[in-house]
C-alpha cells in the first residue's frame, strides 16, 4: 500500500488522515505549527477511544490505526509518499509555495492533490515542473463520515493521475464524482441558491428565518433549513465561499452575495460557534416560532427548489459533470433528499421552466434566467433520466 501524506493538521486534514489510515495506509500528517500537530494527535486519540467505547472499533484496530499515523512538523517526512493531499488555508499564494516545496521532496510518481473547495486547480498546478501529477481531491467535513469526494482534474492533469486518484479514493469506501475545474466544482456551485434565494426571500419580507427553515425541512424534506445550516457552517465561512464563487464567475448575478449575510458576519453573528447567528444560541434563549401557513411554505420551497434545479441543469449544460454525478454529489455532499435533476423529472420540466420564467418576468433580473437546456428539454418533452 502506498504511503499517504496530509499537509495541514486542522479538522479537515486530521479527518482525511484518519480515513487513509483506516484503509490501511501508512500516513504522515504534517503541519508547521506544533500546537496544531499536538491538537490533531490528541483529537484523533479521543475519537478512536470514543469509537472503541461505543463498540464500533476493537481496541486493537484503534491502536493499529494510530500506529500507522506519523505526526510531524517537517515536510521532509513526506519522502516516499505516493499521494499527498494539501488541506491548508485557502490562499493560492501559500498553496503555490508549498506545492513547489513538495515537488522537491517527493518522487516523480507522487500525486500532489489539493483539498481546496473553491480555488483553481489549474492555478495551483501551474507552479509545478510536472503539473500533470496535480489534481483536486475535495473531501467534505467531517471527512471520516461524509461519503462524497469531488475529484477535479486540471487542464494539465494526466489521465493516469485522474484514474489513479479516483481508484484510490473509491478504495477508501468513498463515493467519488468527477467534475471540471470550475468555481465551486459541483456542490458549492449548485448549492448557492439554497442560501442565496432564502436570503432574498427574507430580504423581500416574504418570511422570516424560522418560517423559511420550516418550509424547507417540513415541506421540502431537507435535513436543515438554510439559516440553521448557515449558522452551523458559520456565516463568515459561507459568505466567503459565496463571494469567491461570485467573483470567480465574473460577477454573474445568479451568485450574488447577500448584504444580510455580510452584515451578520461583520457583526460577529457567525452562528453556533459565536453563540449568535440568524438565531440566538445563548443559554435560555427561545427559538422563534415559524408561520406554518402551508401555502406560504409551498411558495418558499418551490422558489428555492427551481433555482437549485436551474443551477444543476446549468452544470450539466456546461459539461461540468455527468447528470449521475451531479445528483450523486448533491445527495451525498450536502444530504439533499433527492437528486435535483431527478426531482426536476418528478415535478415536470415544464413546471420548473414556467416558475423560472415567471420569476424572470417579474424581477427582470439575470439571476432568474432559465438555463437553455431546460428550454430545449421542455420543447422536446424530454427528461433528465
Active-site positions?
A: 117, 138, 150, 188
Provide the 10 A C-beta neighbour count for residue 164: 18
Q: What are the φ/ψ torsions at residue 186 (nearest 5 degrees)?
A: -95, -60
Provide the 10 A C-beta neighbour count for residue 60: 9
How far is 162 from 342, CA to CA, in rounded Å?
A: 28
| Contact partners, residue 381, CB within 8 Å, separation at least 6 | none
CA dihedral over 152, 155, 161, 167, signed as positive or negative:
positive
The Cα-based distances of 297 to 37, 122, 200, 238, 369 in angstroms read 47, 42, 15, 24, 23
All three cell numbers of 1, joined, read: 500500500
Confirm if 339 and 327 have CB atoms less than 8 A apart.
yes
Q: What are the φ/ψ torsions at residue 196 (nearest 5 degrees)?
A: -60, -45
Share in percent of the chain as helix, strand, coil (round to 5): 55, 10, 35
Question: C-alpha angle with apex 79: 71 to 15, nearest 5 degrees?
Answer: 40
All three cell numbers of 149, joined, read: 469526494
The Cα-based distances of 246 to 103, 240, 249, 288, 319 in angstroms read 32, 10, 5, 31, 19
How far is 378 from 355, CA to CA, in rounded Å?
A: 13
Q: For residue 255, what is the enclosing H or E element?
A: none
Q: For residue 28, what is the enclosing H or E element?
A: strand 27-30
Amino acid at each position: 500500500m502506498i504511503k499517504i501524506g496530509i499537509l495541514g493538521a486542522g479538522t479537515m486534514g486530521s479527518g482525511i488522515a484518519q480515513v487513509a489510515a483506516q484503509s490501511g495506509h501508512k500516513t504522515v500528517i504534517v503541519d508547521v505549527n506544533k500546537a496544531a500537530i499536538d491538537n490533531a494527535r490528541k483529537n484523533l486519540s479521543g475519537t478512536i477511544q470514543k469509537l472503541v467505547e461505543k463498540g464500533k472499533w476493537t481496541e486493537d484496530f484503534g491502536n493499529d490505526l494510530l500506529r500507522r499515523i506519523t505526526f510531524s512538523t517537517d515536510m521532509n517526512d513526506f519522502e516516499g509518499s505516493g499521494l499527498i493531499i494539501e488541506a491548508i488555508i485557502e490562499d493560492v499564494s501559500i498553496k503555490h509555495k508549498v506545492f513547489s516545496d513538495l515537488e522537491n521532496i517527493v518522487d516523480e510518481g507522487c500525486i500532489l492533490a489539493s483539498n481546496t473547495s473553491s480555488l483553481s486547480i489549474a492555478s495551483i498546478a501551474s507552479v509545478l515542473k510536472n503539473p500533470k501529477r496535480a489534481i483536486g481531491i475535495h473531501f467534505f467535513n467531517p471527512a471520516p463520515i461524509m461519503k462524497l469526494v469531488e475529484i477535479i482534474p486540471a487542464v494539465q492533469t494526466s489521465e493516469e493521475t485522474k484514474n489513479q486518484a479516483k481508484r484510490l479514493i473509491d478504495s477508501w469506501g468513498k463515493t467519488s464524482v468527477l467534475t471540471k475545474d470550475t468555481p465551486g466544482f459541483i456542490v458549492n456551485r449548485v448549492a448557492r441558491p439554497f442560501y442565496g434565494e432564502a436570503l432574498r426571500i427574507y430580504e423581500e419580507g416574504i418570511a422570516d428565518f424560522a418560517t423559511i427553515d420550516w418550509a424547507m425541512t417540513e415541506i421540502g424534506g431537507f435535513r436543515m433549513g438554510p439559516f440553521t445550516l448557515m449558522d452551523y457552517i458559520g456565516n463568515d465561512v459561507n459568505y466567503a465561499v459565496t463571494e469567491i464563487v461570485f467573483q470567480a464567475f465574473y460577477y454573474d448575478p445568479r451568485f450574488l452575495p447577500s448584504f444580510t449575510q455580510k452584515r451578520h458576519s461583520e457583526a460577529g453573528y457567525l452562528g453556533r460557534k459565536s453563540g449568535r447567528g440568524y438565531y440566538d444560541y445563548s443559554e435560555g434563549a427561545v427559538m422563534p416560532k415559524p408561520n406554518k401557513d402551508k401555502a406560504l411554505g409551498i411558495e418558499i420551497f418551490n422558489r428555492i427548489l427551481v433555482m437549485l434545479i436551474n443551477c444543476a441543469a446549468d452544470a450539466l449544460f456546461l459539461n461540468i459533470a455527468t447528470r449521475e454525478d451531479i445528483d450523486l454529489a448533491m445527495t451525498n455532499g450536502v444530504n439533499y433528499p433527492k437528486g435535483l435533476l431527478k426531482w426536476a423529472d418528478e415535478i415536470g420540466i415544464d413546471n420548473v421552466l414556467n416558475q423560472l420564467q415567471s420569476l424572470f418576468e417579474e424581477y427582470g433580473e439575470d439571476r432568474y434566467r432559465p438555463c437553455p437546456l431546460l428550454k430545449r428539454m421542455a420543447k422536446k418533452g424530454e427528461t433528465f433520466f
